[in-house]
Amino acid sequence: MTKEKSVWQRLDYGLLFLVFLLSLCSFIAIYSATNVSEEYGTYHFLIRQMIWYAFGFAVLLVMLLFDYRQLRHLSIPFYVTGIILLLLVMQFGEEAKGAQRWITIFNFNLQPSEFMKIFLIIAIAHFLVREQAKTLKASFKQDLWLTVKVGLITIVPFFLILKQPDLGTSLVLVAIMGTMVLAAGISWRVIFLMATAFVAIITGLVFLYFVNFDLFSKFIASHQLSRIYGWLDPYSSPGQFGYQLIQALMAIGSGQLMGTGFNQGVQARGYIPEVHTDFIFAVIGEEFGFIGASVLIAIYFILIYRLVQIALTCNDLFGSYLVAGIIGMLVFQVFQNIGMTIGLMPITGLALPFISYGGSALLTNMIAIGIVLNVHMRTKTYMFD
């Protein structure tokens, strides 16, 4: 016997409220970070972010109008479309700051690698459901083969994005794949094998660095190596590799417990390039201190906790896998962005979800939340479950 509730009555308003809180944090941080801009003016970036948020909420609403299960039939077209867009970026993309990641459509710069995250989640979710329907009890060999197949689905967009170059987004795809494979319940021996392979790759790269640097340079680009230098020992090159990290640490440190106050930050706004994108957390840490930064992190924790609840209560495998992939995507980006700002992780070009300025990244995250809300709305609860 089902509880008689319409689809719209099951809309998770709590999750929407969390996204609304993050949007307010984004507006406050972006305004504070960019209102001193002489080139663009006081409200340029704030207004554009508000427009992107309005568009994002509109797209989120559209995502709720259809049953998410229909995405299974579109998984292959979406995946192929994503690959084609990445190939178009390689040929006709706009180059900026040494990277070729954007294409211009109707005067808007879009980053196809952002949308590829969603396409990959849908494709892997469809594949996992189809493969697991073929067998009742998987063996180690079947789990291993399943992992290899999922890896093959991921490796094509991974290398196309890495070629741009965009290591950060490439690693997000790996995080998505890993999270969804774990959600599929693969054998612990496969997990151990994957962890061993990862450690072996890192060990091999370190070995090549000391023994054969020329060969090492074929795997790790010079700009990526400089970021590793800046992460491990930023003070050895404070004017080059370690500049951003040192300035970010000084900004967060100057915030102390309560922060310097809204729009009163000096360090983050004056010394960190493009602070409104990758290093927006430094603005929050400086102006709102440990308490403000902790509140933001707490909102993320509650958001992820709610996503986990939705994934666990969903009685449809496809829906659970979709939410699991979105959890992996968001958790990795939050951890990596905040981690690189405080020196725990190497610096990559990953935005802080829902906070950093940027249309493509924000739109991707809003689509992801729309999918999660869709899954929750169409998850039926039973008296005898």
Judge whether 286 lies within some domain.
yes
Query: Does one domain contain both 116 and 102?
Result: yes
Query: Does one domain contain both 194 and 227?
Result: no
Among residues 214, 230, 262, the one where a domain terminates is: 214
Query: Does one domain contain both 209 and 302?
Result: no
**DSSP character at residue 382:** B
Q: Which of 191-200, 303-312, 321-330 has the lowest mean pLDDT?
A: 191-200
Which residues is 110 bridged to in the sheet?
103
The helix (run of H) or strand (run of E) holding residue 87 is helix 71-92
pLDDT score of 267 = 77
Judge whether 70 lies within some domain.
yes
Query: Does one domain contain both 208 and 266?
Result: no
pLDDT score of 2 = 47
For residue 381, pLDDT over 50 is answered with yes
The domain of 269 spans 43-186+221-377
Judge whether 164 lies within some domain.
yes
8 Å CB contact between 169 and 114 = yes
The helix (run of H) or strand (run of E) holding residue 105 is strand 99-105
Q: Model confidence over 261-318: pLDDT tens digits? A: 888 888 777 788 878 888 999 999 999 999 999 999 999 999 999 999 999 999 899 9
Query: Does one domain contain both 85 and 204?
Result: no
Judge whether 7 lies within some domain.
no
Number of domains in the chain: 2
Query: Does one domain contain both 273 and 126?
Result: yes
Gap between the Cα atoms of 15 and 117, Å rounded: 21
Judge whether 339 lies within some domain.
yes
Q: Which residues have CB under 8 Å from 260's CB, separation 6+?
A: 254, 266, 286, 287, 289
Query: Does one domain contain both 148 and 210?
Result: no
Taking the CA atoms of residue 14, residue 180, residue 371 and residue 100 in that order, the dihedral angle to the nearest 10 degrees is 110
Gap between the Cα atoms of 83 and 112, Å rounded: 9
- 352 Rama class: left (phi>0) / alpha (psi -120 to 50) / beta: beta
Mean pLDDT, residues 25-48: 85
Strands 94-96 and 108-110: unpaired
Query: Does one domain contain both 86 and 153?
Result: yes
* Cis peptide preceding 234, ω within 30 of 0: no
pTM: 0.92
Query: Does one domain contain both 203 and 155?
Result: no
Judge whether 141 lies within some domain.
yes
Query: Does one domain contain both 312 and 270?
Result: yes
Query: Does one domain contain both 295 and 175?
Result: yes
Q: Model confidence over 112-163: pLDDT tens digits? A: 999 999 999 999 999 999 988 666 566 788 888 899 999 999 999 999 999 8
Gap between the Cα atoms of 165 and 99, Å rounded: 6
Mean pLDDT, residues 158-170: 90
Judge whether 23 lies within some domain.
no
Query: Does one domain contain both 228 and 320?
Result: yes
Judge whether 86 lies within some domain.
yes
